Amino acid sequence: MRLEGKVAVITGAARGIGKATALLFAKEGASVALVDLDEEGGRVAEEVRSSGGDAEFYRVDVRDYDAVRSTLRAVVERFSRVDVLVNNAGIIRDRTLLKMEPEEFEAVLDVNVKGVFNCTKAVVPYMVEQGAGVILNASSVVALYGNFGQTNYVASKCAVIGMTKVWARELGPKGIRVNAVAPGFIETDMTANLPDQVKRMILERTPLGRFGRPEDVANVYLFLASDEASFINGAVISVDGGITI
């Protein structure tokens, strides 16, 4: 098993990519701490335990640094260490620039940028003390080419790429690898309500001719979290079926 003996903290773990990542990491031997505001995360943790894995659910708002820091302390008390952090939690509030309210812009950056900062800031001292760790950040292909009606989301995911590269430089000498994954259009709650014509347009632009599955992204997280990726640092890996070609 590729993560035997590792402890992973996964945010946004109640559904979609986060849930798929938690289940896969547990299958590969990791103990998993599931972080989400959605109580469904508790059921995911129970699913892991019923399959023989070790999991705990923590209901936390990643925008609240003090709550995040307290949670990381509890995770270390429970599991003794933290080897992997997957900053997966994110939200969308799509509107064109003319219609977007300042509150909608701020809400997305609060979760998608501040939340990533908060969780990473809270976990890094433990990883520095261990002399090892992996931080994986969820960006998006829209950070690479923009997207209509997503000023706030694109801004947030561009920021995640920037933070990833800064942290890779700062933390690499301390034994901590930091990488980002840029998913394309994945079959999750976020994409379920897209208009049919938009879905058709996406499929036409995707060489592989389908939407991604949460497991497609989870598999890349697994590789990056494992020792097989021990010389990958500061990378942004697209998981998009070729839509950015």
- Any idea which residues carry the catalytic annotation? 153
C-alpha dist (Å) from residue 217 to 69, 70, 122, 238: 27, 29, 24, 9
What does the CA dihedral 92, 8, 216, 158 come to, rounded to 10 degrees? 40
DSSP-based three-state secondary structure for 159: helix
Half-sphere exposure of 222 (CA within 13 A, CB side): 23
E-assigned strand segments in 143-209 = 176-183
Q: How far is CA 33 from its chain centroid?
A: 13
Residues 92 and 157: their CA atoms lie apart, in Å, by 11
DSSP-based three-state secondary structure for 28: coil
DSSP annotation of 213: -
E-assigned strand segments in 88-245 = 133-138, 176-183, 236-239
- The two three-digit tokens of residue 32, written as one number: 């998993």
